[in-house]
Amino acid sequence: MPTYRVPRREIQFVMHEVLDMAKHYQSIPGGEDVDAEMIDAIMEEGAKFAENVVAPLNASGDAEGCSWRDGEVTTPAGFKQAYSQFVEAGWPSLAHKPELGGQGLPESLGTMLNELTGTANWSWSMYPGLSHGAMNTLEAHGTQEQKQTYLLPLVEGRWTGTMCLTESHCGTDLGLLRTKAEPQSDGSYHITGTKIFISAGEHDMAENIVHIVLARLPDAPAGTKGISLFIVPKFNVNADGSLAQRNGVACGSIEEKMGIHGNATCVMNFDAAKGYLIGPANKGLNCMFTFMNTARIGTAVQGLCSAEGSFQGALEYAKERLQMRSLNGPAAPEKSADPIIVHPDVRRMLLTQKAFAEGGRMLAYYTSQLNDTVNRGTDAAAKKESETLLALLTPIAKAFMTETGLESANLGVQCFGGHGFIKEHGMEQLIRDARISTIYEGTTGIQALDLLGRKVLMTQGETLRAFTKQIHRFCKLEADNAAMQEFVTPLAKLNKEWGEYTMQIGMKAMQNRDEVGAASVDYLMYAGYITIAYLFAQAAKVAQTALANNTTEADFYNAKLFTARFYFARLLPRSESHMAAMLSGADNLQGLDAEHFAF
């Protein structure tokens, strides 16, 4: 398995130099005392935990997997002990309000921690990761009594949380769900139904599990307008907070999966389980989006983790593996062959991984910065702008970063050649673990429809303009900077075209709504490449400034410029092919009758 090392300097570059997080934290309650030194200290402690505790469990957890017996799930050896250390260190409470038992620090610090633990061991990181969505949902929509009963133990990490949406007959189309909620005389509800694909739905790591469940009331309208949200604990809770009898919820089985073997993906059976309504009746889907949006940003981080982990493994191997000679003559004449890192195609793969990891990190941390302002900011105008930008960037981050993370994992195996295809080196596990990321929390296609259909066209382009104006301001500011023209000129052109092409699709969609679905995935990838280009342009500006000021880290900043140039020269041109595809219309997809697909 690749030995994971936290890219400390890379994280510092994004946090301190590109996004100036310390300054950002001064603008939000709870962040006033967070300076660069504190950020680095939190990163260092998180790095120790990620590198020394959970990373060593990654390969063994994959090999052992979870086991199910009589409704109980046992996690791989070491997982439970690692979670106990995680709780004892206070990590679950990092970004929650002090009055709820939290430390009150900004959520973006939690995003940084998620990168560390997620790259080290994604299967393990899902257990505490899913709890954050449950906590945010309870904090936003729960009653004071519900917060006291369920939120405090979740914040402490003594309990974990899940979200229970999917049923066997309905995946994305939640309007078809059948789980029932029957009102009881004491104000509770009996929840009956079966949910599938529930990550961390049952395990042995915490004393209780709080399920956030979608179900229908008896008089609920059909479709998505008739869905309510409920709290259903594994163990019922007494008035004093102690655990009572086992609730009517049990794990019927765990899935045999392609990857993330260390995380239990469960079939959950609810048999008149006692549940409690959270939020208004029949408005459960609205409340659930609090959970979903948290999960989507978290899944975007998985794309970053896939890119970073595969890059680290491939880079180490490419420096050591001897194969053939450089086309320009021996690079290491004292050896029997040259390290494969001298070969242009290997460098193409490595630099692609590097660019997707570094670009993804900037996007993940930028969206988490916006999320801080939305959730905690006090300036109304800044909150509104951040909310608009976050609405646009969340589906881009989730889908683009997981697609490029999966590509990076595939490139990691390719760098190893045949050795990557076998288990010994651990690179194939990265692909298996990454593959689900483009599916769960909304597939790439669903994210693309959300982006183009809801976030862009349904707002008449207002959401998009908020971001393209930001890019325009940056390009205008650098218009007279000769050193930045290699980045600003293509970025400004693409930024202008982004709006024009969106209008073209919108006009066609007025005549045929299938035009939206036909264009959407290519539109999202097109948007993703431009978004990352904007962030790389900012990184290049930071690097140029540091070099002009005679930095002592010239090699680091020159590498930053090199990666930005590689991205603009080798990866950004992909946007042109996505543009051509998204503008090609729906007829080349919809014109063939279903029965004629095969003969």
The catalytic residues are: 441
What's the full length of the chain, in residues?
599
512: which DSSP letter?
A: -
The H or E element that residue 67 is part of is strand 67-69
- Structure token digits, residue 474: 């940056």
If one counts every other C-beta atom within 10 angstroms of the C-beta of residue 482, the result is: 7
Q: Is 497 exposed, middle or buried (0-12, 13-18, 19+ CB in 10 A)?
A: middle
- Give CA–CA dist 129/422, Å, rounded: 29
Coil, strand or helix at 334: coil
Task: Please give the Cα distance from 122 to 114 (Å, whole number).
Answer: 9
Listed residue (351, 341, 349, 353) closest to 311, CA to CA: 353
Strand ranges (DSSP E) for 84-200? 159-164, 180-183, 189-199
Amino acid identity for residue 136 in this structure: N
Indicate the helix (H) or strand (E) that contains 209. strand 208-215
Going by C-alpha positions, the residue among 259, 352, 278, 300 that lies closest to residue 572 is 352
Report the half-sphere exposure of 397 (CA within 13 A, side-chain side). 29
Do residues 397 and 300 touch, judged by C-beta distance below 8 A? yes
* Alpha carbon distance, N-terminus to C-terminus of the chain: 45
- CB count within 10 Å of CB 178 equals 13
Q: At what angle do helices 284-320 and 344-376 cross, to 10 degrees?
A: 150
* Strand segments (E) across 454-536: none
Is-contact 130 161, C-beta < 8 A?
yes
What whole-number distance in Å separates Cα of residue 465 and Cα of residue 461? Answer: 6
Residue 357 CA to its chain's centroid (Å): 13
192/272 Cα distance (integer angstroms) = 5
Rounded-to-integer distance, Cα 344 and Cα 357, Å: 20
Phi, psi of 228, rounded to the nearest 5 degrees = -120, 165
Q: Report the distance separating Cα 14 and Cα 546, nearest Å.
A: 14
Q: Rounded to the nearest 5°, which phi and psi values hold at 331?
A: -90, -25
366: left (phi over 0), alpha (psi -120 to 50) or beta: alpha
